[in-house]
Chain A
Amino acid sequence: MSDDTPLWQRMATAGAMMIQGTPQARALGMRVVSITEARAVVEVDWREDLVGDPETGVIASGVVTTLLDNTCGVAAFAALSEPMSTATLDLRIDYMRPAKKGATIRAEAHCYRMTKTVAFVRAFAFDGADETDPVAAAQAAFMMGTSARMGQNRRPPK
Chain B
Amino acid sequence: MSDAPASPTRVNLSELSAMFQAVPYAKFLGVQLELKGDELTAILPFKDDLIGNPMLPALHGGVVGALMELTAVAQIFLAQGGKKIPKVIDISIDYLRSGRPVDTYARAHVTKLGRRIANVRVEAWQFDRADPIAALHGHFLLKSDEGESETKA
Instruction: Collect the chain B residues with CB atoms within 8 Å of residue A156's CB.
Output: 100, 102, 127
- In angstroms, Cα B127 to Cα A153, docked, is 12
**Is residue B142 contacting chain A, with contact meaning CB distance below 8 A?**
no
Given A51-B23, A156-B127, verify A89-B85 contact (CB < 8 Å). Answer: no
What is the distance, in angstroms, from A41's C-beta to the closest C-beta of chain B? 17
Interface size class of A (residues with CB under 8 A): 35 or more
Number of interface residues of B (CB under 8 A): 47
Given A51-B25, A92-B90, verify A25-B52 contact (CB < 8 Å). Answer: yes
Given A61-B69, A68-B62, A70-B62, verify A50-B25 contact (CB < 8 Å). Answer: yes
- Find out whether the CB atom of A60 lies under 8 angstroms from the CB atom of B97: no
- Find out whether the CB atom of B49 lies under 8 angstroms from the CB atom of A61: no
- In angstroms, Cα B28 to Cα A54, docked, is 14
Q: Which of A60-75 contact B (CB under 8 A)?
A: 60-63, 65-70, 73
**Is residue B1 contacting chain A, with contact meaning CB distance below 8 A?**
no
Complex partner residue of A65 from B57, B66, B101, B102, CB under 8 angstroms:
B66
**Chain A residue at smallest Cβ distance from B53:** A22
Instruction: Collect the chain B residues with CB atoms within 8 Å of residue A120's CB.
Output: none
- In angstroms, Cα B66 to Cα A68, docked, is 12
Nearest 8 pairs of A and B residues by beta carbon? A66-B62, A62-B66, A60-B25, A24-B60, A27-B49, A69-B62, A153-B56, A23-B51
Residues of B within 8 A of A (CB): 22-25, 27-29, 48-63, 65-67, 69-70, 85, 87-95, 97-98, 100-102, 127-128, 131, 153
